[in-house]
Amino acid sequence: MAACCGPSRDAAAGSHRPEAGRAVVVEAGRREPPRGMARIPGGTFWMGGDDPDGRPEDGEGPVRQVRLRPFLIDPTCVTNARFATFVKDTGYITEAERIGWSFVFRQFAGHGVMDASVPQAPWWAGVEGATWRSPEGPGSSVRDRQNHPVVHVSWHDAATYAAWAGKRLPTEAEWEMAARGGLERARYPWGDELAPKGRPRCNIWQGRFPGAPSKGTMPVKSFQPNGHGLYNVAGNVWEWTADWWGTAWEPFAEDPSGPADGDAKVMRGGSYLCHDSYCNRYRVAARTANTPDSATGHTGFRCAAIV
């Protein structure tokens, strides 16, 4: 797993990692299929990649055929506005809020920078008070980012939200099938060219990483949707999935959350910090992972459901 993509609390030298404290118990929401979701017809697709500049150490390959039942998936990541509704309805407190700090891209970090650092990725800083409400730390706000993806949510936070909404997190295979938009073995959700006719199709780093300035997240419906109607499945924010890192996906597993082992959950899609000069994990086959209690300013999620 690359620390640049998803720094974990375990990886932060000099950080304090207290117990997260008492979690708010959230009851599951509605049971009927939620409205407004994209219906993915299921069937067989080619999963994984063998790009010449891919990362075999991440388990991107081998390319294999995978068969899935039909499922539903959100067209966008969960927004700050929608997460605020969840918090207001339940009183839920995220792990970053209970623990007291989260990871912020150092270029954005303001007050509250801790001694915590990630040796392999010095552009990350542990920031006290960085939460989904205050993405850059104390003094920051999502007031003008209501339609941006919620960030600083751990896997546990994402799974709890999904249960409240009557949904679940997508399996890694579901995420990739939906992200491909019906294209077979394409490099990106829209084809094999990063910027067709010179037009950007995703929110990734502009300029050589990490020296150039970044704009951070963008609204969840930026750029054109893919063939299944999904927005921003490349770049913007990494997205949590249900699966544990390093375990084989099994067709038609009864438990969509995957086997209960491992110490990190798979994330897909890349983020606004990805760039070919350092990390090109915005390719549709790319993957990384992080520990379930970790949170960063470039990780969000979307939900899935059974048809």
DSSP code string of the chain: --TTT---GGG-BT-------PPPP------SPPTTPEEE--EEEEES---TT--GGGT----EEEEE--EEE-SSPPBHHHHHHHHHHH----HHHHHSEEEEETTT--TTEEEEE-TT-TTEEEEET--SSSTTSTT---TT-TTSBP-S--HHHHHHHHHHTT-BPPPHHHHHHHHHTT-SS-SBTTBS-SSGGG---SB---SSTTTS-------TT-S---TTS----SBSSEEEEEEETT----TT-S-TT--S--S-EEEES--TT-BTTTB-TTSTT-EEEE-TT--BTTEE---EEE-
- In CATH terms, the superfamily for domain 33-90+148-307 is paralog of FGE (formylglycine-generating enzyme) (3.90.1580.10)
Arithmetic mean of pLDDT, 177-197? 96
Give me the pLDDT at residue 186, please.
96
DSSP letter string, 159-194 = HHHHHHTT-BPPPHHHHHHHHHTT-SS-SBTTBS-S
Give me the pLDDT at residue 116, please.
66
Confidence label for 57 from pLDDT (cuts 50, 70 and 90): confident
For helices 155-164 and 80-90, the axis angle rounded to 10 degrees is 70
- The one-character DSSP state at 252 is T
Give me the pLDDT at residue 55, please.
85
Question: Is the pLDDT score of 14 beyond 60?
Answer: no
Q: Can you tell me the distance from the alpha carbon of 276 to that of 42, in angstroms, rounded to the nearest whole number?
A: 32
Instruction: Please state, rounded to an integer, the average pLDDT across all residues of the chain.
Output: 86
Give me the pLDDT at residue 28, please.
59
Q: Can you tell me the distance from the alpha carbon of 5 to that of 18, in angstroms, rounded to the nearest whole number?
A: 23
Give me the pLDDT at residue 40, please.
97
Task: Calculate the CA dihedral of residues 71, 262, 249, 52 and round it to 10 degrees.
Answer: 110
Arithmetic mean of pLDDT, 126-139? 95
Contact assessment for residue 35 and residue 167, using Cβ atoms and an 8 Å cutoff:
no
Arithmetic mean of pLDDT, 16-39? 62
Question: Is the pLDDT score of 78 beyond 70?
Answer: yes
Q: Do you know the residue count of the chain? A: 307
Question: Is the pLDDT score of 232 beyond 90?
Answer: yes
Percent of the chain past pLDDT 90, that is, above it, reads 65
Question: Is the pLDDT score of 62 beyond 70?
Answer: yes
Arithmetic mean of pLDDT, 9-37? 58
Confidence label for 254 from pLDDT (cuts 50, 70 and 90): very low
Arithmetic mean of pLDDT, 198-225? 86
- Going by C-alpha positions, the residue among 41, 59, 39 that lies closest to residue 49 is 59
Give me the pLDDT at residue 113, please.
83
Task: Calculate the CA dihedral of residues 205, 95, 303, 229 and round it to 10 degrees.
Answer: -20
Question: Is the pLDDT score of 258 beyond 70?
Answer: no
Three-point CA angle 65, 71, 76, nearest 5°: 105
Question: Is the pLDDT score of 34 beyond 50?
Answer: yes
Confidence label for 255 from pLDDT (cuts 50, 70 and 90): very low
Question: Is the pLDDT score of 256 beyond 50?
Answer: no
Q: Which residue has the higher pLDDT, 257 or 143?
A: 143
Q: Which residue has the higher pLDDT, 80 or 263?
A: 80
- Going by C-alpha positions, the residue among 149, 29, 27 that lies closest to residue 84 is 149
Question: Is the pLDDT score of 250 beyond 60?
Answer: no
Q: Can you tell me the distance from the alpha carbon of 243 to that of 79, in angstroms, rounded to the nearest whole number?
A: 22
Give me the pLDDT at residue 25, please.
57
pTM over 0.85: yes
pLDDT in tens, 260-273: 456 899 999 999 99
Give me the pLDDT at residue 279, please.
80
